[in-house]
Structure formats: structure tokens, C-alpha cells
Structure 1
Amino acid sequence: MWPARTESETVTCVACGTHTDRELAREYDKYGNRWEREGKEFEHFCRSCHDELCHHARTELEELLVEIDAGECSRLEFLSRYVATVEDRYGPLEER
């Protein structure tokens, strides 16, 4: 029999950087399928950041972010690349 766990694991929220107990965090799989667990390392959100997320489908989003090197350039450069790529693929952005 395994000994009881006396110390909980701490994880860091990828949105705000807060450290929280793993049991209180929300698991995030950037590939969109948290049920297939083999060989994956999951990221985590604290509850308040998770509640603020948009829970709509994000088809093609992760691939687009990798393609435009999100996180590797300035915010202004990222936004410029994002808008240009989205307009290229899906047409002009307009409010509905």
C-alpha cells in the first residue's frame, strides 16, 4: 500500500503566474484533448483565470500561434502578424 500524501503538489497558473495547489487548479491541454494523457505535460490555470477564459472551440488557433512565433516577439509584432495571418486566411476582420 502507498503511503498517504502529506504534501500537495504546487502548480503555476500560465495566465497570471500565481502558485496554487494542484488540486485547486484547472488542467489545460493546449492540444485540446486532455483525455489522452500518455506522454503529455499539462499546464494549469488558477480557478479565477480559468473562469475568465473563452471556452469556445479554438480550431487551428494553436497551430497559427506556433506559425507566427507567438511568445518569441514583441506584443506589437505579434498582433501585427496575427491580424495579417487571420486576414490572409479568412478575409478582413470586422465587428459583427
Structure 2
Amino acid sequence: MWPSRNRTETVTCLACGSEVTRSKAREYDKYGDRWDRENKEFEHLCKSCHGDLCHHPRDELEELLVELDAGEESQTAFLAGYLATVEERYGTLEEES
């Protein structure tokens, strides 16, 4: 099978910024639908950063981050808004004894 002509040989890991070959990277779709490939550009993670990710389902998480303008304000302001929104929608998180 011939490689696609429009694919680059190297990609940049969105977590650590390393340049890695495409074969040593993992595709990341911030909308959580990596199977729908039509007209889509993927971001990439190196294998190390991909392994560090939590691979549990993240239902509604990406939509919430977009809604709260993640990355657009200070970390302190974002986290305060995030925690308030999560508490309002899902209740408080209490540790089990």
C-alpha cells in the first residue's frame, strides 16, 4: 500500500511539543469522534504523552471545555469557572470513606 501524498512525515505532539514521525504518534480528535474522518484534521500525541492520558470515557468534557473558553483566560479563572459549572450540573464530589 502506498502512503498518502498529503500526509506529512512528522507531526508535533500537542502536549509536549516534540516532533515525532507519524508512525510514532497517536491521533487525537478533540471532539472525541476519531472514527468520522471526512474533512477532518487530527492533532497528534507522541506515544509517551498518549500513555500518560486518562483513557476513561470523557462524555461531555470536551464540549464543556469549549463552552467555558478553555485557554482563553487565566488558569485560576478557568478552574474557578470549571469547578462552579461542574458542581452546578453534577453536584459536589465527595470522597468515599
1:24-57 deviation digits (Å, cap 9, x = unpaired): 1001111212111011110100000000100000
Give the root-mean-square deviation of aligned CA atoms.
1.8
Paired with 2:74 and 2:15, the residues of 1 have a C-alpha distance of: 17
The count of corresponding residues between Structure 1 and Structure 2 is 92
* TM-score, with structure 2 as normaliser: 0.87
Paired with 2:95 and 2:82, the residues of 1 have a C-alpha distance of: 16
Residue 73 in structure 1 maps to residue 73 in structure 2? yes
2:90 alignment partner in structure 1: 90
User: What percent identity do the matched residue pairs reach?
Assistant: 70
1:50-81 deviation digits (Å, cap 9, x = unpaired): 00100000100011001111010111111101
* TM-score, with structure 1 as normaliser: 0.87
* Segments ≥4 residues shifted beyond 6 Å: none
1:1-96 pair list within 5 angstroms: 9-96=9-96
Q: Structure 1 counterpart of 2:69, which letter?
A: D
